[in-house]
Amino acid sequence: MKLFKISGMFAALLMLSSCSMFEIDNYDAPEETIRGEVVDVKTGNPVLTDQGSEGIRVRLTELSWGPNVEHNPDFYCRPDGTFQNTKIFKGNYNIRIDGPFIPLVRETADGVPLADETITTDIKGVTNVKFEVEPFLNVRIVGDPTVSNGVIKAKVVVERGVSEQDFRDKIQPMGNWNDSFLNMTDIQFFVSYSNSVGYRARDDRWSSAINYTGSEFNDKFGTPITITSNGQIPSGRKVWVRAAARINFDTPVGSGTRRWNYSEPIEVMIP
């Protein structure tokens, strides 16, 4: 009886050893690279934003496996509007980005396609792509920020990157239109010790914001707005500042994420 039990156990082990769970994964590690840049179609300037989930989202979907395939894990652009991923399997991919610009994929509420400006390409070795988009806003700091008693003041100009009519022509056919989509909601003034200053790299002690309701900002487009940092930054320190602004429209549509357009970062010395 004991011999029978031992033999049975040995046979079970042999069966398990032949299962796929014991097979060695002999697939090559992903080693292809995708590099991209996101620029304003009108000016050729990079679309500046944040370096996190509030920034430009990049989504890859490998089409080599046929329809209904799941997309790869999302990743995000750098603050300068470029992106890179060095761990991609070789294959044919659809590349989609979502950010503070007119959506590349637009369809009606019933799912009828209106536009698809994504890129489909083979990724092999180092593959470079370029997206030309229509940013919602252009944000810049004019002149040099001034410092007095540890407080920074800067003049910020916000302009529409796409006209109200063009925005309406492209967004309204998607359904659920609301005039408030065009409203400017806030200007942020981010302060940080880091040159990657932004929402993800800000010092809350000194960063500040101006909020707007309804269409209150409409007559201020193109006009310098003075914004002031909070608190008192210690003397002898070097900080970085950056302005950001956004409209009342989320991308992707329905995500609830309203993304900022950014200015260039500026270095400021606190005397």
Report yes or no on 254 lying in a domain.
yes
Residues 152 and 80 in one domain: no
pLDDT of residue 52: 87
Residues 260, 168: Cα–Cα separation, whole Å: 19
Report yes or no on 85 lying in a domain.
yes
Residues 154 and 263 in one domain: yes
Q: Which residues of 101-131 are buried (b: 16+ CB within 10 A; e: fewer)?
A: bbbbbbbeeeeeeeeeeeeeeebeeebebeb
Domain count, the chain: 2
Tokens of 9: 């156990």
The residue out of 68, 99, 133 marking a domain boundary is: 133
The residue out of 133, 150, 170 marking a domain boundary is: 133
Cβ-contact 265, 195 below 8 angstroms:
yes
pLDDT of residue 24: 52
Residues 46 and 103 in one domain: yes
pLDDT of residue 68: 66
Residue 160, domain CATH: 2.60.40.2060
Report yes or no on 18 lying in a domain.
no
Measure the CA angle with vertex 145, ends 159 and 45; round to 5°: 40
Residue 70, domain CATH: 2.60.40.1120
Residues 240 and 144 in one domain: yes
Residues 209 and 247 in one domain: yes
Residues 42 and 61 in one domain: yes
- Residues spanned by the domain of 238: 137-269
> What SS3 class is residue 159?
strand
Q: What is the pLDDT along the chain (271 residues), one digit of tens a residue?
A: 444 444 454 454 445 444 544 455 556 788 899 999 999 999 999 999 998 899 999 999 999 877 667 889 999 999 999 999 999 999 999 999 999 999 999 999 999 999 999 999 999 999 999 999 999 999 999 999 999 999 999 999 999 999 999 999 999 999 999 999 999 999 999 999 999 999 999 999 999 999 999 999 999 999 999 999 999 999 999 999 999 999 999 999 999 999 999 999 999 999 9
Report yes or no on 210 lying in a domain.
yes
The residue out of 133, 152, 168 marking a domain boundary is: 133
Residues 146 and 264 in one domain: yes
Residues 141 and 244 in one domain: yes
